Amino acid sequence: MSETRTTETTDIPETGGTSGTSGLLDSPSSLEEKAAGLDAADELAKHREKFVLDDTVYLDGNSLGALPAHVPARVADVVARQWGDLRIRSWGESGWWTAPERIGDRIAPIVGAGEGRIVVGDSTSVNVFKAVVAGTRLAGEGRDEILADATTFPTDGYIAESAARLTGHRITFLDPDEIPAAVSERTALALVNHVDYRSGRLRDLPGLTAALHAAGALAVWDLCHSAGALPVGLDEHGVDLAVGCTYKYLNGGPGSPAYLYVAERHQDRFDSPLPGWNSHADPFGMTPAYEAAEGAVRGRVGTPDILSMLALEAALDVWDGVRIEDVRAKSLALTDFFLECVRAYAPVGRVASATPEAHEERGSQVALRCAEAPAVMDELIRRGVVGDLRRPDVLRFGFTPLYVGFADVERAARVLGEVLRDIPAA
């Protein structure tokens, strides 16, 4: 597998203070006042009360979303009544059997898909394997190449390499910007991350999908860092296959099941490399020969993980009445304001943004390169600002618009500035 490219960085413009001093362009009081005004005008602020939060600033929802407050009681009912009292009857009476498709239809509007195109279950890694291998089968003979995102989350690369070995395809790792020039009549598909997990860079899903289709290839997208943060438009842009997790911006809980999207036009030919009894046309017939079910059900494998799946279903209630376009607008406003505050508070030369400034190239996170990143993140967390670290030098901050406010953003940047002044430069 080729080496992942180093993410480009952009210096934070010189509006911050000199080493050891605060910024002079905006004082803490003026930025606090601005944050208060932005929070007062925020139409999504009312959703914050739906989550279990404390007095920390939680900017790690791009790794694990916060707990929706009503989920524990719903899960308690699943355990005590559905499992404890009804037991096996819950497969029918409580709707356990249809949960993978029912919950898929709940996720569909968030990612721009119609009903019957998404099935929930298994992990993202397993669904990447299904999508890549099934994609090579859909592409047909003569297309013996897989293109893969060289900046991808490592597991996607591992799975794509293994799928290529199993199917006899060669695999080429490229920066996504290089894919349009590289795709050819030999290309079966390209596997690309919609948002880069390190830098937060948003890739051109419509443009790359169109370029692949123009060459007769398929587009397979990983939506882990975009679903629930910005519009995706799977149906609108003709995406062939997509996968994603549900424990980040969808707040489904640790290890909550992932999902697989299969475009309607491909469903009758979708040939899963993991044909389990749950995707059989007659699952309780227990016949030796496999016959695939109709539709996205073909993406199922074994018995659904009901406890975590129904916790996810409950968590998705926070999306009732929420427009993903409004989420995107607030996401951009939050990340813009964070960068503004970092410019004001961070000592000059200590951090550089690895996240694009242009809105059309930015997801819902900000990555700051910092030579002292491990020590800085440890101290940020100790002082009540929770982000995460990507070794060796990336401070990563995720902005979940349903529960992160502008006062959170100002506080996080102010504390970051304090920590950078307290920790000597390397």
Kindly name the residue from 149, 222, 240, 305 that is annotated as catalytic: 222
Is the pLDDT score of 248 beyond 50? yes
Q: What residues are designated binding site for pyridoxal 5'-phosphate? A: 124-125, 153-156, 222, 225, 247, 277, 303
Q: Are 145 and 168 in contact (CB under 8 A)?
A: no
What's the pLDDT tens digit per position in 253-299?
999 999 999 999 999 999 999 999 999 999 999 999 999 999 999 99
Query: What burial class does residue 165 get, using C-beta atoms within 10 Å of its C-beta: 0-12 exposed, 13-18 middle, 19+ buried?
Result: exposed
The overall average pLDDT reported for the chain is 94
Active site residue 222: yes
Please say if 247 is a catalytic residue.
Answer: yes
Confidence at residue 12, expressed as pLDDT on a 0 to 100 scale? 60
> Per-residue confidence at 28, pLDDT binned at 50, 70, 90?
confident
Q: How confident is the model at residue 5 (pLDDT cuts 50, 70, 90)?
A: very low
The answer, yes or no, to whether residue 16 has pLDDT greater than 90, is no
Contacts of 224 (CB under 8 A, 6+ apart): 124, 153, 193, 195, 197, 243, 244, 245, 248
Selected catalytic residue, list 117, 143, 201, 248? 248
Whether 6 has a pLDDT exceeding 80, the answer reads no
Q: What are phi and psi of 196, to 5 degrees?
A: -65, 130
Starting at the edge strand found earlier in the chain, the sheet holding 187-193 runs 118-120, 259-262, 241-244, 218-222, 187-193, 145-149, 170-174
- In Å, how far are 3, 179, 285, 409 from 343, measured between CA atoms? 32, 34, 64, 13
pLDDT of residue 73: 98
Mean pLDDT over residues 86-92, rounded? 98
- Catalytic site residue from 51, 247, 399, 403: 247
One of 3.30.70.360, 1.10.10.10, 3.90.1150.10, 3.90.105.10 is the CATH number of 10-44+322-422, namely 3.90.1150.10
**What are the beta bridge partners of residue 51?**
68
Pick the catalytic residue: 396, 399, 411, 414? Answer: 396
Q: Which secondary-structure segment (H or E) carries 218? A: strand 218-222
User: ∠244-245-250 over CA atoms, to 5°?
Assistant: 110
Confirm whether 10-44+322-422 and 72-319 share one CATH topology. Answer: no
pLDDT tens for 361-409 read 999 999 999 999 999 999 999 999 999 999 999 999 999 999 999 999 9
- Provide the pLDDT confidence category of residue 140 given band limits of 50, 70 and 90: confident
Q: Is 58 tagged catalytic? A: no
Residue 344 clears pLDDT 50, i.e. is over it: yes
The per-residue pLDDT for range 179-223, each reduced to its tens digit, is 999 999 999 999 999 999 999 999 999 999 999 999 999 999 999
- What tokens does 201 get? 């860079």
User: For position 18, what pLDDT does the model report?
Assistant: 33
Q: Which residues are annotated as a binding site?
A: 124-125, 153-156, 222, 225, 247, 277, 303
Question: Catalytic annotation on 153?
Answer: yes
- Domain ranges across the chain: 10-44+322-422, 72-319
Angle between helix axes 124-139 and 154-167 (nearest 10 degrees) is 40
pLDDT digits (tens, 9 = 90+) for 272-285: 999 999 999 999 99
Give me the pLDDT at residue 210, please: 98
Per the CB < 8 A criterion, the answer to whether 241 and 262 are in contact is yes
Top-level CATH class of 72-319?
A: alpha beta
Q: Of residues 153, 270, 337, 403, which has the active-site annotation?
A: 153
